[in-house]
Amino acid sequence: MRPIARAAVVTRLMKKPSPSSGTPRDLSRRTFLGGAAVASTLVALDVQAQPSANSTPPAAPRGSAFELEEATLAGLQADLTSGKHTAHGLTERYLARIQEVDRGGTALGSVIELNPDALAIAAALDAERKAKGPRGPLHGIPVLIKDNIGTADKMQTTAGSLALVGAVPSRDAFVVERLRAAGAVILGKTNLSEWANFRSTHSCSGWSGRGGQCRNPYALDRTPSGSSSGSGAATAANLCAVSVGTETDGSIVSPSAACSLVGLKPTVGLVSRSGIVPLSHTQDSAGPMARTVTDAAVLLGVLAGVDPSDAVTAASQRHAHADYTRFLDVNGLKGARIGVPRERFFGYHPATDALIERALDVLKARGAELIEAPIPSAAKLDEPELEVLLHDFKADIEAYLAGLGERTRLKTLADLIRFNEEHRDTELAWFGQELFHQAQEKGPLTDKKYRKALEACRKLSREQGLDAVMAKHKLDALVAPTQAPPGLIDLVNGDHWLGSSSTPAAVAGYPSITVPAGYIAGLPVGLSFIGKAWSEPTLLRLAFAYEQATKHRRPPTFAPTADLRPAKV
């Protein structure tokens, strides 16, 4: 099974080419409550199970600066070691920050539920540190995880849908086991595009029936993108140290780019999907979302590993690393050969192109050689990808529901469709479930149409795609804008996407990483490095060198809207 991502490919197939550029509008749309009292000093988080109206966002909160703003894992560990902070104290501060920013004046809507045991867990980790020392770089560190990642505790695992409220898994997802073993404090679950944005052909990213609409902390009327929208918005807003998202196609890199974060979508098989509400076993992956490349590398080392419950991870035994920070090199761009696939992944937004051209200049100045490297087969991926995702989703979600046993009465995709119809006022208030209906019409994974589409996806994305272009030009990686700046939230009409570069790596099951590349009208833009299978060390090296050369990341201001004065890029 697998974790999540987005239903983006659907819109690409439905929308016409952009009249301004002639290139496809390659949109990448990805995302009861769980309020919990976590301490007597905090008011219970009350997440309302109702859609949020597309109203004017509130003004930014006023008050003193947050003590832990832009804190890094290394910095937090140093404070824990020195005694300046405790895990309990850090947890209290982040919980208070969530209460103020997420549920307070900003109404960011990024956290769907808090962990009622977070403070007790933190206190136990403090005692363990005192008695035995730290387990590693995540010991006592507050982390948020996406609400499709299973936890066998007092929290829900719903993929944002009211249909799964009460269907608590019998065991933690493998990545949660890894986090707990590393000593992380799981603060809670993040909001997302419901069902990983694989429900409607015109959904609004960041909206779920359970959590309402999540907003972008850089401009509150803008999309946080999806489907790991809550993980992106929360991490950008300093509501946690780092977070975990999931991706099928764009759902880690898209919200990371939209929220000025580093987001790494690993090779399929490097990080287990067991215990995560699935979309597609062929493309799903969980991965780190962080404010720095170093923190993403640390978190990846914790998440990666072989899981007997996810057979595809067996291949990672020769490729996984416990410490990815050893690959980080400030001079890592020197001598690198980097391909630039302009033909499909540039040209949909002039201001984004101008910003990325500056990024390319930085790459060259730091010693990289840039090679024009089109990927002609990428234009043929949309139709077979959608066919695969529709088949995979039906098979994978029904397998997941079966695994819940008596904890849910819903056993089939048809049951989920019926539930949504019976709860139209909450689940179908803003958009429908066209993709659910399309998936319901599909047969088993033995169907010839599915096998043909899967073969086409692998051939077009791998041997005729990334493998071919990288071998031809002897490339270390490809680079492209992750996407255009985040668009306006529009619950009535759905997302408006111009373009993205996530699909080739997503369909191939290969890694990609996005890193902040600057801002347009105060809205974040990301630069993506894309590689071959198991090339995470190389991508982290390149992304780190670029990050250190530019240091574009800056914290959000929670502005009500974008700065629309005469544009400066």
State what percent of residues in the chain have pLDDT above 90. 86
Q: At residue 55, does pLDDT exceed 50?
A: no
Q: Which of 227, 256, 280, 512 is catalytic?
A: 227
- β partners of residue 288: 244
Average pLDDT over the chain, rounded to an integer: 91
Identify the three-state secondary structure at position 485.
coil
Query: Is 459 noted as a catalytic residue in this protein?
Result: no
Side chain identity at residue 102, one-letter code: D
Average pLDDT over residues 528-539: 98
Residue range 348-361, pLDDT digits in tens:
999 999 999 999 99
pTM above 0.85, yes or no: yes
Q: Please give the pLDDT value at position 22.
A: 34
Determine contact, residues 185/143, Cβ cutoff 8 Å. yes
Instruction: Note the CATH number of domain 73-549.
Output: 3.90.1300.10
Identify the active-site residue in 146, 189, 265, 442: 146
For the segment 483-503, the average pLDDT, to the nearest whole number, is: 96
The predicted model gives 403-407 an average pLDDT of: 97
Q: Does pLDDT of 40 surpass 60?
A: no
Specify the pLDDT at position 331.
Answer: 98
What are the φ/ψ torsions at residue 197 (nearest 5 degrees)?
60, 30
Q: Where are the beta strands (DSSP E) in 184-299?
A: 185-190, 207-208, 212-213, 242-247, 262-265, 285-290
Buried b (16+ CB within 10 A) or exposed e, 285-296: bbbbbbbbbbbb
Where residue 567 falls among pLDDT bands split at 50, 70, 90?
Answer: low
Displacement of CA 52 from its chain's centroid (Å): 22
Omega before 316 cis (within 30°)? no
User: Does residue 47 register a pLDDT over 70?
Assistant: no
pLDDT tens for each residue of 554-565: 999 999 999 998
Q: State pLDDT tens for residues 123-168.
A: 999 999 999 999 999 999 999 999 999 999 999 999 999 999 999 9
Greater model confidence, 46 or 86 = 86
Residue 8 has a pLDDT of 47
**β-sheet bridge partners, residue 287:** 245
245: helix, coil or strand?
strand
Dihedral sign for Cα 365, 371, 376, 377, please: negative
pLDDT at 56 over 70: no
Q: Would you call 227 a catalytic residue per the annotation? A: yes
User: Which member of 52, 161, 231, 251 is catalytic?
Assistant: 251
Strands 369-372 and 337-340: parallel
Higher pLDDT, 438 or 11: 438
Q: pLDDT at position 103, please? A: 87
Cα distances (Å, whole numbers) of residue 344 to 269, 331, 401, 502: 27, 29, 38, 11
Amino acid at 568: K
* Residue 319, Cβ density class (10 Å: 0-12 exposed, 13-18 middle, ≥19 buried): middle
What would the two tokens of residue 503 be? 């699909």
